Every structure is written in C-alpha cells, then in structure tokens.
Amino acid sequence: MKTTTQNGNDVSAAPKTDLKTKEFLEKQRKILLDLSDDITQIRDKTDLIILFSSRIKNLFYFKHTIVTLIDPERTSYRPFLLDPVSSPIQTHPSYARLVDSDFPLRGAFIEGVLDAGKPVLYWMEDIMDLPGSPSFLRVNYEGGIREILMTPLKSKNETIGFLHMYTDRPGSITEEFISIIEGIAPQISSAVTNIIKNDEIREKEWINEILLECSIGLAAVRTREELAGTVRTTLIRFNLMRGFGIRRINADQETMTTYVHDLGVTNVSEAEMIELTQSQFPIYDGLQDRVLDSSIPLQVNIDAEIRRGITSRYLVLWQDMGLKTMVGIALRNGDVTLGVLWLGIEQANLSLLQAIGSQISVAMSNVLAAEEIIDREREKTFLLGFSNEVARVRTKEDLKNAVFKVLNRVLNVKLAMINLIEDDNVTLKPFMYDRTLFENASEEFDALVAASNTIHEPTATRVLAAEDRLILKVAEELQACPDNPFVQLWAKTGLKYMFAAPLRSAQADLGTIWLLTDNLKSELLQGICSQISTAIANIQANEKILAYKRMLEMENSQLKEQIKRTYNFNEIVGSGPEMQQVYDLISLVSESNSTVLITGETGTGKELIARAIHSASPRKDKLMIKVNCAALPANLIESELFGHEKGAFTGAVERRIGKFELADNSTLFLDEIGEMPLEAQVKLLRVLQEKELERIGGKTTIKVNVRIITATNRNLGEEVKAGRFRSDLYYRLNVFPIHLPPLRDRRDDIIPLAHLFVDRYSKATGRKVRKISPKVLQELTSYPWPGNVRELEHLMERCVLLSTEPMIREVYLPNKNTGAEVQPVAMLGTLEDVERMHIIETIKRCRGKLAGRGGAAEYLGMPATTLHSKIKKLGITKRQYLAE
Ligand SMILES: Nc1ncnc2c1ncn2[C@@H]1O[C@H](COP(=O)(O)OP(=O)(O)OP(=O)(O)O)[C@@H](O)[C@H]1O
C-alpha cells in the first residue's frame, strides 16, 4: 500500500513496518471485528468517533480525530463528528467557530486528498500556510499538532467526507497505522452514511410529527386571525419564527396584498408597517412571479434583488427593517395559486418549508372559502336591504340617496354616470352622477354632460351590447383609445376599473350605468345594477303616473271651473215670449238623448242653455265636457276629441284620453261646431253613427255613450251650401235645433239682466253697488247690443268696478255709430261727479262736521252756507258721508 504526502513524496516519512506479518494482519482483523461490533451498537453519532478513537488508540498513538462531511452541492465540507475531549484545541478561542464552519473544497490540502482517493499524511508545517489551506490546520498546529492523516470516506465510489487524524508526535502515524485506517475506512464510511440516513429519518419523523400536530391546528382554522395565530405557532415549533407575511393574489390577478402577517419585533415605523401590510404589490415584478413559478421555496437576498433592478417598494421596506434574506414559498391548493408566504429567515430545510407551505395553503383556502361564504351571505343580506330600500324609491332624489349610500359608504365604488335613453331611442341623457369624482377635470366633465351623447358612442355601444356587464381596465382602455374623452376622464380619477352595465327592464334597454372602483366586486355590483334598473323603471312609471295625474287634475280643475259657471235653469234671465219658447224646448229635449244644435249670435247664452239641458238631463251627475272647436288648431282637434296612443305622432309622448271618452255617459258640448275642419267632421260623423271610436294610433275600438250638444253662431245651412260643412253631419247634428234670439230683439230682458250682473259682480268684488240710475237704465235699453248678453255682462262688471257709490250713474257705451267706446276725459267721471266725491270725502274726514272750526266748509275754503247749497244741488245725502 502506498501512501503519499502532500508533496506527492513516497511515504518515507511514515515509520516502516512489515505489513505482511502475521501479527499485523491479526491486529488489523481484530480492530475491524471490534469496530464492526461497536458500530452495530452505536445509538448516538458522537459515540462512533469516541469508540473508534479509543479502539485505535489501543494500538497506535494519535492525539484526536474528527469526521468532516462534504455538502450536497459539493462545494465545501464541514465538521460532522467531533471528539472534543481529546482535541488539543477545544479551549482555543476559534474552536466554536471552526466546528460550525464550512471549508471550501478547494486548495492543495483538500484537493490532494480527493485526488489521491486514499489516506494522505501531511506535515502541518508543509501544508498549513499554503494558499487555500483551511484555518483549522494552523489552529491545530498552534495546539501542538504536527501531522495530520486525511482519509477520504466513500460511499458508492463518491467521497462523502474525510476522517481527520491528528498527532502531536511526529512519526507516530506509521505505515501500518495508515494501512489499518485505509482498511477500516469503508466501515467508517458506511457507519457515517448510516448515521446520516438515521439523522435524516429521525429529522423527517420529527418534522412529520410536528407537521401532523400543526396540521390538526391548521385544518381547524376558519378565520384570518386563527390562520395568523396557527402559522405563528407552526413557525415557532420549527424555530422559524422571525416574522412572516402571507400575501394573497388580488381579484385583478396582477397584484398581491398582505392577507395575514406577524412581522415579529422589528424597528419598523407605523407608516411603513401600514404601507407594507396594506399596499397592493405587483405580482409581475421579477421576484414575486419567480416565487409563484418556482416549485420549491426561493431564498432571496434582498440587497442582491434591489441591485438586480427589482423596484418593488416592499424590498426597500424589508431593507429598512434590517432584513437581509427572505424565503418565499408559493401557496397553492390544487391548481389554484393563492399567494406567497414570505418568511424572514436566513436558511432552512427546503422540504420542511415546502411541507409547511402546503399545509398553510390548505388552511388558507379553508379560510378563503369560509370568508367567501360569509361574504356571500353578507352580500345577500346587503342586496336584500338595498332592494327593500330601492323598492320604496319613487323619485330620482330617493334613488340618488340610496345609490350613493350603498356605493360610497358601503362598497367604496364611485358612480361615474347613469345615462338614460331618450324617447328617440338614440340620445343618452345624463340622469345621475357623482360630480365630486371628477373634481380634477370638472370642466371636461361638465362639457361632456352638456354635450348630447348617443347609443352610437363606441363605449356606450359596447356596454349596451354586453349581456350583463363590461369590466374595463382604465389603463388598458386609455392605451387602446387615448383620444376617447370619456376614457380620459376615467383616467383622471386615478381609479383602476370601470364597471359598466346596461340598465334593462323587461328586456328593454333603459340606459347605461358606469361605476369606477379599485375594489372590484363584480357579482355584487351586478346585483346592485339590476336593482337600480328596477328602480329607474319604477321612477319612470311613477313619473308617467304623476304626469297623467297632473293632466287629470288639470282637466278636473277646468271642469270644476266650468261647473262654477254652470247656472241652472233658474238663473237664466229672460221672461219674454222668445225666451219662454226656448225654455219650452229645453224642457222638451232634456230628458231625451237627442242631439241638440243651439244657434244664435255670439254671447246670446248658447253655452248656458247647453248646460241647462245637461243639468236637467239624467246625465246631470256627471260633468258636461266642453270642447271649443274654434280654440284648437286643426291638427290637434282630432286628438282632443278622440285621444291618441303614445308615439302616434311627433309630440305624442304620452297616451291621451280624448274628450269623447271623458264624456262617456255624459254630455259632450261641441261649441263653435261651425269651425270644425272637414277632416275632423268625417271622424265625428263616424263616431256619432257607430257610437265607438279609436284613439289616434290605437288599434282597439272603444264604445262610448255620449249625448251631443253643439252650438254655433254661424248659419250652418249656409256653411253646407258653401261646402265648408258636411251636409250629412249637419243633418245628424240638427236633430233638435234651438235658436236664441239676439238681446236687441228681447229688450225687456236687458234691465233684469243688468241687475243680475250688478248684483253678481258687487258680491264677487265686495262692493256695495246696488242700484242703477234711471238715466243709465234708459241708455242700456236703447243700445243695440251687438255682443248680446256677454257684452252687457262685461259692461256691468266694469260699471261696478268704476262706481264709487252704491248707484251706477254712468255707463260708457260704445259709440253707436262708430262702435268705438266714448271715453270720458278721466276715469273719475264728470266735473260734477268729482265735486260730489270731493265734498263727501272731506265731510267724512271731518266726521260729519260741516261748519265752524275744523268743519268741512273751512277745509273746502267756502262759507258754510255755500257748502249747504252745494250739498243740496249735488243731491248729497247724510247717509253718504255718515255711512262709513
Ligand atoms: N239668459 C241669460 N241669463 C243669464 N245669463 C246669461 C244669459 N244669456 C247669457 N248669459 C251670460 O252671458 C255670458 C255669455 O253666454 P254664453 O257663453 O252662453 O254665450 P254663447 O252664445 O255661448 O257665446 P259664444 O257664441 O260666444 O260662445 C255668460 O256669462 C252667460 O252666463
């Protein structure tokens, strides 16, 4: 057997022994046998070296021995089995460091052993100071060691470590010694391999045992707090607790945010702590994505990552916290990647970390599932609450309150806009928005709100085409459509997502809703949007009902107004034979359903007579409906009479009930029938014949039971002849004609009528005008009254208003020749009137005192006798100045 020194010299330095002697062989055999026995009994790894050392020492002298092992990467070797009791350097200050050091597998010293593949004896002085020589050589030399025998330990032809044997007596390691060591090296190797395996098995068992314990705890975890606590306990059990953070992948699939953490005791500031645990950190930053992609835990050197150019803020925060290395473990449950577990540790058993990681993954998915259930429940309750609130919504204001409450306060979502489609089915009109959202761009926003938008605007078209919603990433949209003014506005809010949805009710598009948020809860938002759709449909229906109600109220008040003006039979003044005849006709026709045509000059009382007929008819409990055919433009008269459906023509925004329908079971009074356009005459005739009608644009026929009374101041017979009035209609209307004579032909009625009107307007205005002077009565009866009773009525109303005393003494009739009214110089009356008024007023102020100091004569600047004669002359009575 040939053994070499580090210089490659023949082992001439080792004292020669006859290796073939029987004695030697016997010695070797015994050592091997004893050692084999020992090795089988070894329970503890330190026992091996102690037993080995003592057995060999029985035969040869050496100081002490150790075993070193090569690391799995085969870059270094480190102490594995020590015999500190025999070591001469155990009191050396470097001892503790040396036994825990890795020594590079480079340099002449160790490479010499590896190359030789068998024991190599070194003289310390030759080797210890060579470049690359391990420091333990010099330390041993200083401890008195002079030679070292290095024997490679092999397993399956690969060197797994070294047996170091040290001596302080040069020459004590003989050739025989070396030969024996070489012979027993395989035994030592296999013992070491067994120890390693045993160690591994034992460690695995220990790990499994603890993992099992931890897994029971982790499996029971249901909340985040429990998760944090159990992860902490698990790490403590493995002595790995130096602070941890679990980051969860956010819904955007682009960022991660801390889910649970325990940073341990660190010198981190409150602000940094909040930043680290609440920020969204990008997944694809070159580090987190590496961890997620890696199937094994990844050890990260923070400084090195920053030097590599990874700019994520959390690295800087870790650095600030004084951390040097972190281990990142991807957390996965089946195919689902949940996030990353970051551990603030230097190094650790990878398979252990992996096992911990997968247990935490299971626990985390349990917590997530539990949270999801709670979230869903909460969302359900929340939606139910919102839907109850929305069900009560009747106005836009109610809806605004409900929507803003739910979006801003509960979900942290901003309402960018609700647009509603107009009746033209194209225009999108802003309905509701949160202007505060666009504070940075208020001018642009106002301009967009003011400009009319349509369903053809590209983003609006996309939303309306969507089945239920559209989720847009604002940044991507801005890249794709940098010129779109809407997208530009969204970008200015700084929010990440635009959640847009069509608002629909019963499959009809009502409009679009646009929500901006960083926190996307699509399902919930979807639910809210459909509630908003329902609410808007309700509001619109309610608005229609209100409009309809308003219309009815308007009509109702008009009708009431008409009723007020309805005078019954008794209020019709006229006692002459002409009017008597009219009364007879009214009595005759009232009870029947016959159509009546009332003719007469304007103002003769035709409407009054129509109302009298209605009031005396069996239909009197319902309102008489009046249509003035002259007051309506030709194109509207049909819709006024027969009504129309929504959209029947431009401007028909609502359905409208016609007067015919309103007059069902009552009387329809068509005033000024002579003015009705021919086209409408045809339709009127049809309704009169068939007693049913169709609304304009409508498809169904509506049966009506209406009594018709018409009136005209024209000569309808002449109109028929001139072709302006349909003869067939004329005959149908002229069933029962009543003609009203003009007032000039019944002069006996003038004075009773004048008194009636004075009385009526005195009461209405609160004046005390009661009488008409004979002179005025005379003037009234001799006037021709071209405007008939209405003219008389207006004139008397005016007289009441102008009169300053209980008797009407003056009337301003139009000039009989010119028709123009003779205006007095002043509205105050004649000079005599003014004088009378002035005297009465002065006496009143003097409290009836005429003469003497403070009397009216003094103030009027005349002697009391003159005043007396004037009072007499002007017919001033005591009543006039003492009455009030
Ligand atoms: N005989 C009467 N007794 C009392 N009031 C009358 C009489 N005739 C007419 N009036 C009053 O005179 C006014 C005008 O009457 P009314 O409107 O009925 O006339 P008309 O013939 O229908 O007018 P037009 O042809 O202009 O529609 C009304 O205020 C009405 O009350």
CA of 571 to the centre of ligand 1 (A): 11
CA of 687 to the centre of ligand 1 (A): 28
CA of 781 to the centre of ligand 1 (A): 18
CA of 671 to the centre of ligand 1 (A): 12
Class of domain 395-535: alpha beta
Residue nearest atom 13 of ligand 1, based on CA coordinates: 790
Give, for ligand 1, the residue of 607, 669, 788, 795 to mutate: max count of ligand atoms closer than 8 Å to Cβ.
Answer: 607
Q: How far apart are CA 782 and CA 803, in angstroms?
A: 21
pLDDT at 19: 53
Residue nearest atom 9 of ligand 1, based on CA coordinates: 605
Give the architecture (CATH level 2) of 747-882.
Orthogonal Bundle (1.10)
SS3 sequence of 435-475: HHHHHHHHHHHHHHHHCCEECCCHHHHHHHHCCCCEEEEHH
Indicate which atom in ligand 1 lies nearest the CA of residue 749. 1
Indicate which atom in ligand 1 lies nearest the CA of residue 607. 18
Q: What is the pTM of this model?
A: 0.48
CA of 186 to the centre of ligand 1 (A): 139
Question: Could you tell me the maximum CA-CA distance found in the chain, to the nearest angstrom?
Answer: 188
SS3 sequence of 206-236: HHHHHHHHHHHHHHCCCCHHHHHHHHHHHHH
pLDDT at 822: 45
Q: Across the 884 residues of the chain, what is the mean pLDDT of every consecutive 10-residue run?
A: 40 49 75 75 76 84 94 92 87 90 94 95 94 94 95 93 96 90 88 85 84 84 92 86 91 90 78 90 95 92 93 91 91 92 84 88 92 85 83 84 79 86 87 87 86 87 90 91 90 90 87 89 84 87 81 70 54 85 90 94 93 91 88 79 80 79 92 90 90 84 92 93 92 94 92 92 85 92 91 90 86 61 50 82 82 83 87 82 61
Residue spans of the domains in the chain: they are 4-202, 220-375, 395-535, 568-741, 747-882
Is 568-741 in the same CATH topology as 4-202? no
CATH number of 220-375: 3.30.450.40
Give, for ligand 1, the residue of 596, 604, 740, 757 to mutate: max count of ligand atoms closer than 8 Å to Cβ.
Answer: 604
User: Phi, psi (5° rounding) for residue 519?
Assistant: -115, 95
Residue nearest atom 25 of ligand 1, based on CA coordinates: 602
* Partners of residue 454 on adjacent β-strands: 427
> Exposure pattern of 745-766 as b/e (b: 16+ CB <10 Å)?
ebeebbeebbbbbbeebbeeee
Give, for ligand 1, the residue of 564, 740, 789 to mutate: max count of ligand atoms closer than 8 Å to Cβ.
Answer: 789
Residue recorded with tokens 């409990």:
621
Q: How far apart are CA 286 and CA 311, in angstroms?
A: 9
pLDDT at 160: 95
Residues with a CB atom less than 6 Å from ligand 1: 572-574, 600, 602-608, 671, 711, 713, 789-790, 793
Give the CATH fold of the 4-202 domain. Answer: Beta-Lactamase (3.30.450)
ipTM score of the complex?
0.98
Indicate which atom in ligand 1 lies nearest the CA of residue 740. 21
Residue nearest atom 7 of ligand 1, based on CA coordinates: 605
CA of 543 to the centre of ligand 1 (A): 40
Residue nearest atom 12 of ligand 1, based on CA coordinates: 790
Residue nearest atom 26 of ligand 1, based on CA coordinates: 602
Residue recorded with tokens 């803020």:
313
pLDDT at 753: 94
- The kind and range of the H/E element at 315 are helix 313-320
Give the CATH fold of the 568-741 domain. Answer: Rossmann fold (3.40.50)
CA of 564 to the centre of ligand 1 (A): 14
CA of 748 to the centre of ligand 1 (A): 17
Indicate which atom in ligand 1 lies nearest the CA of residue 573. 3
Let me know: does 180 contact 27? Beta carbons within 8 Å.
yes
321 to each of 273, 276, 325, 695, how far by Cα in Å?
Answer: 10, 11, 11, 82
pLDDT at 8: 40
pLDDT at 288: 95
* Partners of residue 420 on adjacent β-strands: 429, 511
Q: How far apart are CA 3 and CA 120, in angstroms?
A: 6
Taken in order 839, 844, 850, 853, is the CA torsion positive or negative? negative
